[in-house]
Every structure is written in C-alpha cells, then in structure tokens.
Structure 1
Amino acid sequence: MSSATMIETPNRRDFLFLTVGAVGAVGAAALAWPVIDQMNPDASTLAMASTEVDIGAIPEGQIVTVKWRGGPVFIRHRTKKEIEDAENVPLSELRDPQTDQSRVKKPEWLIVVGVCTHLGCVPLGHEGKYEGWLCPCHGSIYDTSGRIRRGPAPLNLAVPDYAFLTDTRVKIG
C-alpha cells in the first residue's frame, strides 16, 4: 500500500487532545465573559441615553429645559414671528451657516443642547438682540434657531437626535 492511501484511525491520545482543548476553550470563555460584561454601561447610564418629553403643555413662545445625559436641552415652542425671523436670515450673516429648516423637524419646535459652544456655560433664553439665547459668561448671542450671531462662540447650539413619537410627545436621544 502506498503512503497516500493510508488512513490513520483515531486513537485514545487524539480523543484526549480534543477533549482537553474543548474544555480549555469553554473555561477561557467562562473566565472572559465577566471581564467583557463589566465593560458595558451600567443601568443608570443606559437610562440617561434617551428621554421622552410631553410637549403638549408648553405654550407658544416658551422655552422648557429638560435634562438629558446629565446636561440641559432647550425645547422652544416658537411663535410664527420667531419662525419667520429664523427662516429669513441670510446665510452670509451667520458664522456657522445652517438654514433653519436643517435645524428643526417641525418649524414650531426647536430642540437644542443648552450648552454654549464657547466654554460650556448654559445660555439664558429670550435674551440678546435676536431674542434667542445669551450666554452670560462671555456674551455669545444665539438667535431663535440656536445659531451663533455674535460673541466668541464658534458654533451653533447643537441639535441632538430626536424624534416626534406623537404630536405632543418627543423622544430625545
């Protein structure tokens, strides 16, 4: 018989190698699982990942501040005048040019992260030349669309991920 046609039959040693290898792999996985699992965020962090807000009670012209991921989010129920003012701003006047339509999903609702893009202060609503927000720390002024108009802030107020669940309910995050 030629060596190419010889087939070795498994012996006891082969069986022991396979068994020890399988037990070792299962043992390694059992030891690795707690280490990998502890890297997941804890329940309190997952709870802050999104928040739902009932916006039905917010009167037109008002700003409500909610907490999301440990920081403020401004929800502004804009008036027709505020919407018109925001839509009619020439992009050439803006330091960080964005149209109002690109910042809102429904024109009457503006949702922005309430942190100044200069040094992280919390701006005050219905303040400043444009009746938007005024950062009391260094004087950055934002319009009714949360766009930077004056002051040291380099960027517009950030727009978080959000979705309208119903006409009166919004999910942020």
Structure 2
Amino acid sequence: MALRRSLHGLAPRLLEQWQGGLAMSSLAGMRPQVAFGDGDQTAAGSIFGRFLATSADIATGVAHGMSPTVAAVKNPTNMITYDERNHERFAPGDPSKRAFTYFVLSGGRFLYASAIRLAVLKFVLSMTASKDVLAMASLEVDISAVEEGQTVTVKWRGKPVFIRRRSEKEIALANDVDMASLRDPEEDSARATKPEWLVVIGVCTHLGCVPIANAGDYSGWFCPCHGSHYDISGRIRKGPAPYNLEVPEYKFLDDNTLIVG
C-alpha cells in the first residue's frame, strides 16, 4: 500500500515537470517533433521527442530574458548566421586568391631548385682538377734530336719517363724472346706503338727506385737498389721486381713531336 501511494504521488510531479518543459519550449519558439514507436500516438510518447532549433529560436530565447549564452546552450543548432558587417568573406577557390597562392608556391619551389642546382655545380666544380694539375696532365716532347740507341729522361706528373730510340738490332732482340721465360709476359708490339720508340715510366716496380739506362744483363735498364734487370723492351728479366716497367699513355703528333699523357 505504501508503494502504491508513492507511485500515485510521483505521477503528478512527473506530469507537472513535462508540462513545464513544453511551456519553456514554447517560450523559446521551439516546435516539438515527437518520435513515436509502434504503439499509439499517446501523450506519454512525447516524453521521448526531439527538439530542433534554429538561430531564430536562440533570438526568441534572448527576447524572453535569457542571456545569449544560455539561449545558445538551450538551443543547440548548426544553422548559424554570421555577422559579416565588419569583414568580407571570400568563397573557396576565389580567382584572385588562387593566383596569389600559385605565385607564392611556384616562387618558393623555383628558389629551392636554384639553390640545389648551385650546390650541385659547386660540388662538381670542386671535384674538377685545377689549372696547374691540368697543365701537368700532358707533356709535349721534341724527339727530333734523339739519336738511335739513345735514351732521354723527361719529367711527367712528378715521375721520370724514359724515351728510347731503338735500333733495328734492338727491335729484333726485343721480339726474339720466349714468352714462357718472362715473369710478366707481354709482347713488344703491345708496349711500343712505333717499334723505333719505346716510352716507359722510369720507376722500378719493386720498391720505386729509378733504374739506370743502358745497363744490366739485357742491355736495357738496371736497378742498383736490389738488382732488378729489365730488357730493351722494359720487361723484367731478373731480380725481385714483379712487373715490367709501366707504359704511360702517349701519342705522336708528328715524326718529331711526342705527347705523353
């Protein structure tokens, strides 16, 4: 019985609160939209209704004595009218703004590309040989005064270069060699572009000493440091040296001019 009396006392209060909510919504200019279930459209179903508001509803709430903040909280809406009296609004994709944006972006990318190009050029130029190095890259030699059987020494890139004018006998002797007997087998024709002229770097392949011309057991070059003997083609024949004398790059401009390098 006590529970029944409590329920009878609670029902009028719930009805009074629901009616008060409807009165407040009418003051705010709101229109209730009631969502009903599968049952009848009864007054009880309106308790679960939803209220939709616009900015006009907020203005109505302010007119009834509410502050703008309270009216906005009580009437949430996404339909807002902005005050554009103090500023101008541009639509998305405005042509004037688009052109300025493209200009700024393009200008920045051009500056970046120019800076990268300059850095690459500076790096490449730093790797290029200087003028003094390029001047030493090749050597022009006048060989018109070199007699048959004579060896002259010139300096190229800080190294001695032997230039020998060989006789017919020396050429025949250089070709009459068994390749199997050589430590570093190499044909004489592969070492001399013109059989009459032999051009080799005058550095012993053992420890870098400078051999003596027209000396040794094979009438070529002899290294007195450790006893390496080279033949008339500059090939190692005896001693500790492991390889033949190196042949540099060279070419003949004419019969009297040789370019080394």
- Give the structure-1-normalised TM-score: 0.90
Which has a greater percent of strand?
A: 1
- The match for 1:75 is 163
- Write out the 4+ residue segments of structure 1 that deviate beyond 4 Å after TM superposition: 7-10
RMSD over equivalenced CA pairs, Å: 1.8
Question: Partners in 2 of 1:35 and 1:139 — Cα distance?
Answer: 47
How far residue 95 of structure 1 moved from its aligned partner, in angstroms, is 0.5
Helix, strand or coil at the partner of 2:121: helix
Structure 1 position 128 matched with structure 2 position 216: yes
The aligned amino acid for 1:164 is F
- The match for 1:145 is 233
Alignment deviations for residues 47-105 of structure 1 (CA, whole Å, 9 cap, x no partner): 11111111110010110011111101100001111111101011111111111111101
Greater RCO (Cα-Cα under 8 Å, separation 6 or more): 1
From 101, 113, 122, the equivalent of 2:201 is: 113
1:45-64 → structure 2 map (5 Å cutoff): 45-64=133-152
> Structure 2: where are the runs of 5+ without partners?
1-92
- The match for 1:161 is 249
Which has a greater percent of helix?
A: 2
- The match for 1:86 is 174
- Give the structure-2-normalised TM-score: 0.61
- The match for 2:22 is none
- How many residue pairs get aligned? The number is 167
Alignment deviations for residues 10-33 of structure 1 (CA, whole Å, 9 cap, x no partner): 532122111111022213333553
Question: Partners in 2 of 1:143 and 1:20 — Cα distance?
Answer: 68
Question: Partners in 2 of 1:30 and 1:65 — Cα distance?
Answer: 45
> Structure 1: where are the runs of 5+ without partners?
1-6
- The percentage of aligned residue pairs carrying the same residue is 51
Helix, strand or coil at the partner of 1:152: coil
Question: Partners in 2 of 1:36 and 1:94 — Cα distance?
Answer: 44
The structure that has the greater radius of gyration is: 2
